[in-house]
Structure 1
Amino acid sequence: MPNNTFDTKIICSSSNDPWYNLSLEEHLFSNVNKNQFILYLWQNDNTIVLGRNQNPWKECKCKSFEKDNGKIARRLSGGGAVFHDLGNLNFTFIMDKNLHNLNTQLKVVLNAVRYLGIETEFSGRNDILANNKKFSGNAFYEDDFSYYHHGTILINSNIDKLTKYLKVSKEKISSKGINSVSSRVINLKTLNPDISVHSMKISLIKSFIEIYGGGGNPSVEYVNEKILPLEKLYKKYSSWEWIYGETPRFDINFVNRFTWGEIDLNLKLNNGLIDSAVIYSDAIDSKLIKNIASNLSALPFKIIEIEKNLNSIKDEKNIEIIDDIINFLKTKLSF
């Protein structure tokens, strides 16, 4: 990829507060310049981060985790819940949308880990594997002008805590051909005892500069709450409304797991119309899930009307998801 035609920045958060780090991520995303590419590195301590459309009560043991001084946070992107501690390093590529290239972005991570003596591969919809086990989950978010791709890197994380507090459905586990979460994930330190969070950070920066830096040497900027407070965004990310949201009573509930993720569809009915719809999902496309839910509201509770409406938002990017949901609902609704 030509890498002399755009501006690069490397930003590291020196905070371990998930609500601040997600605020900073959104701030960088909202303010990325044209032809700019940012590598953002950050760590959260004792945190569960939910995907944008997930139900916290279903995904983790909320009360016991918070009682043990854990923090629960929700990100903008889709995908599943993850556990973060100081043995895990998070990366975010934030860019002008025109610069997005998944293969090149993944190459930064893959090369960085290979520099530390471990062979890696990208697998499925959002995982990076070493020794056939997951050490990095990835998720994505975009608007009209900007794009971000972020992920975890398990280096020396507490796997016992991960399995203790996260609830993973049996369907999701069986779809991966495994019998437990702990058998699916791996710390890189298990494969190379010399790896540390610091050495991983240095290796990522090196790989990023080689691929995107154009032979230059971008400086690393350290940011925290004192340098850039971000009060408004912090208030949002730390709020009950953002993390938990409303959980109204629903009349209808449909749940199914597809190859691209799980759908937990909840409908409230009034006089034969769908009064409100909420969809919990670990699907990668967080905006599509919100769009589907909003399109169901005020529709007659009839499969022919639902099918017609969902087909109206179908395009080449979401055709599999829309068709799968329609076909699933046809098995549940005969009117």
Structure 2
Amino acid sequence: MNKPTKKQSPLKKYLVTCDYNLEDLVIEEIKKNIPNATEVEQFENFSHRVSFSVPSQENTTLEKILSLRSIHSVIELKAAFYLEDPTLENLKAEIMKIDLPEMETAKSFRASAERYGNHDFTSMDMAKHIGHTVILRYQTSVSLDDYEYNLRVDILGSFVFMGYQLTNDILSHRQGKYNRIERNFHHRAATKHSIAYHLLTLAGLQEGDSLLDCTCGGGTIVLEAASMFGEKIKILAGDMHERAIKGTKENLALNGFDFVEVRELNARHLDETIQDYVLENGKIDKIVCNLPFGIQSGKQVNMRGLYDQFLSSASNVLSKNGKIVVLTMRQAVFREVVFMIKKYKITKEYVTEAGGLYLHIFVLEKI
């Protein structure tokens, strides 16, 4: 007698947005933290987007998705299609064909839209016409503020996807329910929390490691590390500027991260300014930092000197198998210095974007 086959749960498909060119790292986090996810891939080869499917009966899955540290927003996908002729009338006609059973019982909804490419209509036009289409079919009320569902429709050239946007705030700001981090001090050149997460992940932090951020600014990297690992790792933060040190301490205190040590130090002379820390705690396992870009001075020669002194002094405090992960916009200068001083090898390099700036992530290991 044949054994009865187990009925497969229907799947829900999700789309998450993320930092430019770091989609592979987002895929890694999804696979690690959501084991039942399938079809995890860059969404239709578009940047900033990753899609995956999960069994719809898994009640805890959405909470796991919203707890991902590398993402910005989450959309539950309902449809995706190409329009041969991307006009508003054709878009409305296709949307009219898509079943949205949630709209049959919803008390209210809002329509949101984003448009990328050349079209003879605006994103506002899209939202207005999509909302009207849904009202005609389901007789559901529209509310811009008090809504049950946020119906999101995006068009990228001739490709369209639609679904329910599940997040109003950008998750990478760490101000929502999940992975929340409080802060009063905001540094003008602060790293995004999602990028800070990537930097820490690329460093390969493990329980018992020591971490140093020697240009801590407002403390984003150490705040992220503390929220991820707690007291399972040793964390040292420092900066040359008193306001940054004070602000980092204030932000850490707001979150109860009193186990993080913050002090004044000079990234050019790490072997001198943290010598006592190294003698007491041993060498540093991971150095992760957002290095100054030198935008205000515009003099790359200044950056060359900084990077040379930073990397040379860091080699004296870094453990044998330690790693350095840095974020910088001066990639050519930084790469040149790495090759020139012959103390490290570049094992990974990524290019991403933040605030209109293209930034490079370098992962270094000692030679």
Q: TM-score, normalised by structure 1?
A: 0.27
Q: TM-score, normalised by structure 2?
A: 0.26
Larger relative contact order (Cα-Cα within 8 Å, sequence gap ≥ 6): 1
